[in-house]
Amino acid sequence: LGDDIGFFEAAEVIGMADDAARSVRTKKDSSLVRAAELVRDGRASAMISAGNTGATVASALLRMGRIKGVSRPAVAAPIPVPGSHPTTLLDAGAMAECQPGWLVQFAQMGSAYSSVRYGIESPRVGLLSIGEEAEKGTALVKETHALLVALDGIDFVGNVEGRDVMTGAVDVVVTDGFSGNVVLKTLEGGLKTIINAVAAALMSPEASAFGAEALDLLAPLAADYDPDNTGGAMLLGVEGVCLISHGSSSSTAIVNACLAVRDLIEAGVTESMRAAVSRSVKPH
Amino acid sequence: LGDDIGFFEAAEVIGMADDAARSVRTKKDSSLVRAAELVRDGRASAMISAGNTGATVASALLRMGRIKGVSRPAVAAPIPVPGSHPTTLLDAGAMAECQPGWLVQFAQMGSAYSSVRYGIESPRVGLLSIGEEAEKGTALVKETHALLVALDGIDFVGNVEGRDVMTGAVDVVVTDGFSGNVVLKTLEGGLKTIINAVAAALMSPEASAFGAEALDLLAPLAADYDPDNTGGAMLLGVEGVCLISHGSSSSTAIVNACLAVRDLIEAGVTESMRAAVSRSVKPH
C-alpha cells in the first residue's frame, strides 16, 4: 500500500435495502456520505461504491451537486459487445421516470462519455424504443426523438431496439432509468443463465473427453461478460467522479474501477460533461 | 395435406413496416384481416401470424372484438427457462403505454394462461420493477403493486427484476408493452450474441480436436432458446385465438404454433380468459 493512500473513518453503514434519500439524510457518518464529501472538498479524486445504488446517487447528488445546467444525473453503464468497446447505456437506474429534456441531456452526456472513456470520435447515439420508426413507442420516446433529430453536436442515428444493445449497432443507447435498469438486469440474468447452462453441459459425464478443454477455450468469452471486468458504471451530471460498481463486486472489480477512474480523471471527464450540456440551447 | 384443410384467398399484403391501424383499415383483403374474420365467423378455430405484430393485434382486436370486461388486450410471450416450463411475459408489445387497471387484468389473464398452457395450478405472478421493494419503480408500478396486493384469485408474489425473468422465480411477469417488448428483444439479442460467440469459438482452429463434439452436445441447449420451438406468443383478451409467431419463423415454428393452438383450444383458453377477468371487481 503506497504512502499516498489515506484512510478516513466512517462509523455508520447504509444497507443495500435502506431507503436511499432517508438514509443519506440520517446516516451522515456513513462511508457513502463521507466519500461524496471528500470528493466535494477536493480531498479525494473520486468515489467508488459497490453499495446501495440509490443511496450512492443521492449522496453524490446532494454532496457534490449537479453540474450547472444539468436537469438530472444519469447512470452510464457499460454493456459488453463481443470484439468491440462496450455500448454505453444510460440512464441505467438513477431516474425511474424521465422527461424528454432530460433524455436529450443524457444523449449529450452519454456521447461525451463514450468519447472520453472509449476514445470514439463521433459516437453513434440511439434512442431505445420498440420499433425503429419515429412514430413507435411511448409519448416520452416520440417527443425525445423529435428533440434529438433537431439537436446539434451529437450523431443521433434514430431509434434502436433491445436486440441492438449488445451488437455494437450504436455506441450509446439513451433511455429512461426504468427501462435502462430493466435492460441491464435482463441481460445480466439472461447471460448468467446461459453461461451456467453451457458450463453445466461441458462438466457433465457426456463431455468428459473434451469438457475441460472446451471450458478453457470459452473462459475468455465468459470473462468478457463478467461485470467484474467492465470497470463499473459512472454517474454523469454531478460535480465530481462517482463510479458505481456491481453489488457482487470482487476485489478485481474494485481494482478495475480504480483504473477506470484514473483514466477518466486524466481525460477530464467532468469538464467534458460540463461542455456537453452547455453546447446547445437548453432543452425544455 | 388433409381434406379438412381449406384455403381462403386474400389479394392484399400488409408489410412488416406498414402502419398497423391504417393498413388494417385500408387493406381489407389482406390475409391478416381475412384470417381474423374467419375466426370471428367461426370458419377458422384460430389465426397464426408471423407478420406485422401491430397489424395482427389491430386486426384481431377490430374483427374478433374484446372479451367483455377486458380494458386492453396483451401479448403473452413465452420466455425460456432452462429445465422448466417457460415464464409468461405480458404485455410483450400490444400496448406501449398502460394504466394500472390494465396491468391488473394482464396479471389475471397471464395467470389463467400459464395454467392453461403449462398446467400450473397456481402460477406465481410477479410485477416487473427495478427493485423488489413496493416503493421502488414508476408511479405505474407502485399503483399496480397496491392493486395486485389487494386482488383475490391470483398468487401475486411482489415485484421482480429483469434478472428474474429467465430463472423461473415466477411463472408470470406482468409489465407494460414498452418494457415487455424491451425485455423480449434484449433477451433475444443477448442470447443470440452469446450463442454465436460460443459457436464461433468452438468452430475455431483452436477447437479442432473437440469443437464438433462440443457443439453437438450444446445443440439441444441452443434449441431451448430458439423462438422456433416455443410455439409463439398469444394475444390475450380478444374473442378468439390469435397466436403471434416470430417474424423470422421457420416452417418448424409454424408447425409448433399449430400444435400449441390445438392444445389451447382443447383446454378452453378463451373461456379461461373470460373467467379470469370476471372473477373480481373490475379494476378502475
Instruction: Give the Cβ contact number of residue B131 at 10 Å.
Output: 18
pLDDT in the model for residue A96: 94
pLDDT at B132: 86
Looking at chain B, which residue has its C-alpha nearest residue A97? Answer: B138
Taking alpha carbons only, the member of A215, A221, A165 closest to residue B200 is A221
Which amino acid does the sequence have at B30? Answer: S
Nearest-CA distance B252 → chain A (Å):
23
Strands (E), chain A: 46-49, 74-79, 87-90, 124-128, 155-160, 172-174, 233-236, 241-244
* pLDDT tens profile B159-196: 999 999 999 999 999 999 999 999 999 999 999 999 99
How far does the CA of residue A94 sit from the closest CA of chain B (Å)? 10
Does the pLDDT at position B1 exceed 60? no
Residue B224: the pLDDT is: 84
pLDDT mean over B95-102: 96
Are A62 and A73 within 8 A, CB to CB?
Answer: no
Residues of chain A contacting residue B163, judged by C-beta atoms under 8 Å apart: 185-186, 188-189, 192
Percent with pLDDT over 90 in chain B: 83
Whether this model's pTM surpasses 0.90: yes
Q: What is the nearest CA distance from A198 to chain B, expressed in angstroms? A: 7
Distance CA B147, CA B153 (A): 13
Nearest neighbour of B137 by CB, restricted to A138, A178, A195: A178
Measured between its terminal Cα atoms, the distance across chain B in Å is: 49
Residues of A in contact with B97 (CB under 8 A): 138-139
Does the pLDDT of residue B3 top 80, yes or no? no
Nearest to A186 among B133, B163, B194 (CB): B163
- In sequence order, the 6+-apart residues with CB closer than 8 A to the CB of A120 are A85, A114, A171
A190:B166 CB<8 A: yes
DSSP annotation of A86: P
Q: What is the pLDDT of residue B2?
A: 56
Distance of alpha carbon A186 from alpha carbon A192, whole angstroms = 10
Distance between CA atoms of residues B76 and B95, nearest Å = 12
Q: Which residues of A touch B166 (CB under 8 A)?
A: 189-190, 193
Among residues A121, A115, A116, A125, which one has the least CA distance to residue A90?
A125
Question: What is the number of alpha carbons within 13 Å of residue A22 lying toward its C-beta?
Answer: 5
Best CA proximity match to A57, nearest among A88, A33, A40: A33
Supply the pLDDT for residue B231.
83
Cell readout for A71 is 436537469
Cα separations in angstroms, A230 against A77, A234, B137:
9, 11, 26
* Set of cell numbers at residue A97: 421516470
**Mean pLDDT computed over B256-280:** 93
H or E element that contains A222: helix A211-224
When pLDDT is cut at 50, 70 and 90, the band that residue B199 belongs to is very high
How far is Cα A91 from Cα A180, in angstroms, rounded to an integer? 6
Instruction: Give the whole-angstrom CA distance, residue B237 versus residue B39.
Output: 14
Contacts of B82 in chain A (CB under 8 A): 193, 197
Contact A209 B213 (CB under 8 A): yes
**Average of per-residue pLDDT across B219-225:** 87
Chain A positions in Cβ-Cβ contact with residue B19 (cut-off 8 Å) = 135
The owner of cell 391501424 is B21
C-alpha pair distances (Å), B252 with each of B5, B105, B192, B258: 18, 32, 19, 10
* Beta carbon pairs, A and B, within 8 Å: 169
For chain A (284 residues), the mean pLDDT of every run of 10, in chain order, is 76 92 94 96 95 94 96 96 93 95 98 97 97 89 97 96 94 98 95 91 93 92 84 95 92 93 96 89 49
Are the C-beta atoms of residues A125 and A155 closer than 8 Å to each other? yes
Task: Report pLDDT for A280.
Answer: 61
Q: Distance of alpha carbon A128 from its chain centroid, rounded?
A: 15
Bridge partners (DSSP) listed for residue A241: A46
Q: What are phi and psi of B258, to 5 degrees?
A: -65, -40
Please give the pLDDT value at position B284.
Answer: 46
User: pLDDT grade, residue B265 (50/70/90)?
Assistant: very high
The interface predicted TM-score of the complex, written ipTM, equals 0.93
Cβ–Cβ of A217/B198 closer than 8 Å?
A: no
Residue bearing cell 450504436: A170
Which residues, other chains included, contact B50 with Cβ-Cβ below 8 Å and sequence gap of 6+? B244, B245, B246, B247, B248, B249, B253, B254
Q: For residues A64 and A240, is the Cβ–Cβ distance under 8 A? A: yes
Q: What is the pLDDT of residues B20-72, one digit of tens each?
A: 899 999 999 999 999 999 999 999 999 999 999 999 999 999 999 999 999 99
